[in-house]
Amino acid sequence: MIGRFRHSGRHRDGRPLTQVYRRLWDGPARSEAEALDRSIQGWSVFYSLGQRRFYAIAAWPAPEPLIVSGPDAEGLQEQIHQAATTLTWQTLPPISEQAAPPKQVWHHPTPVRR
């Protein structure tokens, strides 16, 4: 077989092709991410096979892309709650002195002269 490239493994010349089964990697983690994605409104949740982490991306307008991650589903829910709370506080308008209640000034009654 001079000059021919020889394949190794299951696709060798002369051998029948074998059935290759699809493998479901990290099935429980992926199903947890799908359940979170359905239950948490305003966030898109997924599980990264390469990083082995849960990720969530805000699906609502934000000043900049908002992405949080956690090692497990509970950690991700905590990160989502923290990010939403922080962003809410940052977007509130500052309290100005005009919006503050007026200061009360107490005067002593002056005697009336007749």
The helix, strand and coil proportions of the chain, stated in percent and rounded to the nearest 5, come to: 30, 15, 60
pLDDT of residue 76: 95
b/e map of 39-62 (b: 16 or more CB within 10 Å)?
A: ebeebebebeeeeebbbbebeeee
The pTM of the full predicted model, rounded to 2 decimals, is: 0.61
Helix (H, G, I), strand (E, B) or coil at 29: helix
Averaged pLDDT for residues 93-108: 64
- With a CB cutoff of 8 Å and minimum separation 6, the contacts of 48 are 54, 55
C-alpha span between 76 and 39 (Å, rounded): 13
pLDDT digits (tens, 9 = 90+) for 53-89: 999 999 988 778 899 999 999 999 999 999 988 877 7
Q: For 95-113, what is the mean pLDDT?
A: 64
What value does the mean pLDDT take over residues 32-49? 94
Rounded distance between C-alpha atoms, residue 41 and residue 96, angstroms? 33
